[in-house]
Chain A
Amino acid sequence: MALEIAKTVDAKGLSCPMPIVKTAQAIKDVPSGALLEVLSTDAGSTRDFAAWAKSTGNELVEQTVDGGVYRFVLRKK
């Protein structure tokens, strides 16, 4: 069953640290336990999102890459 995404952040084309800044802003708007999807083309994203999730306590549920686009699914703590 596909995960139910509450909100998507399209950060494609944005350079560091904007994908994380947009994500930190957007996650304020979803309820606890809901899923936030982020799309990014910044090559540093893989490490950045893992570190950000760990530090903020939000869970990185899924991470994939397809054609240079990184996709992250985060569950708000």
Chain B
Amino acid sequence: MSDTISFVLFSGTDDRLQAAAVMSAGAAALGKKVNIFLQYWALDAFRRDRIDLDHGLSPEAGEAGRAAVDALRAAGQASWKETLSQAKELGDVDIQACSLSMDLLHLEESDLDPLVDGVEGVTAFYISAEDGEIVFI
């Protein structure tokens, strides 16, 4: 089992971000090095002024899915932001914004939530991924 796992987050809906946060926190708890690379709509969700907003759910969620997600949250489930924050406190979790997506969305590093550690290109991401798996969400 490799000591490094890397997640490419593309989708910016709360359900996918929640799943990614759970996967990341679980890996951090096992002592793995976790890299998170933010692209497109996932990066948009990490904007300082938008991270706490409702980002909707994947189309397949439907009304029943919306109700189920709301019920879990009402029962006290940590948000994806909180889950990632705890994962970073616990272990080695590095969150980087894709530089191309920064251009696409006309963002500066100061526009991003402090959870994001920096901006890098895809080559740097591959180098930090080492020989571990890369998961696209």
Contact = CB atoms under 8 A, between A and B. Distances in A.
B30 interface: yes
If over half of B's interface residues share one DSSP class (helix, strand or loop), that class is named, otherwise mixed; here it is helix
A21 B31 contact: no
A23 B15 CA distance: 25
A25 B90 contact: yes
Contacts of B75: 13, 15
Interface stretch (B21-29, B53-61, B115-123): B21-29
Contacts of A21: 25-26, 28-29, 83, 86-87, 90
A66 B76 CA distance: 22
27 contacts: A13-B75, A14-B76, A14-B78, A15-B75, A15-B76, A15-B77, A15-B78, A16-B22, A16-B26, A17-B25, A17-B29, A17-B83, A18-B83, A21-B25, A21-B26, A21-B28, A21-B29, A21-B86, A21-B87, A24-B28, A24-B30, A24-B90, A25-B86, A25-B90, A52-B29, A55-B30, A56-B30
Interface of A: 13-18, 20-21, 23-25, 52, 55-56
Given A13-B75, A15-B72, 5 more contacts: A14-B78, A18-B86, A24-B90, A52-B30, A56-B31
Interface of B: 1, 22, 25-26, 28-31, 72, 75-78, 83, 86-87, 89-91
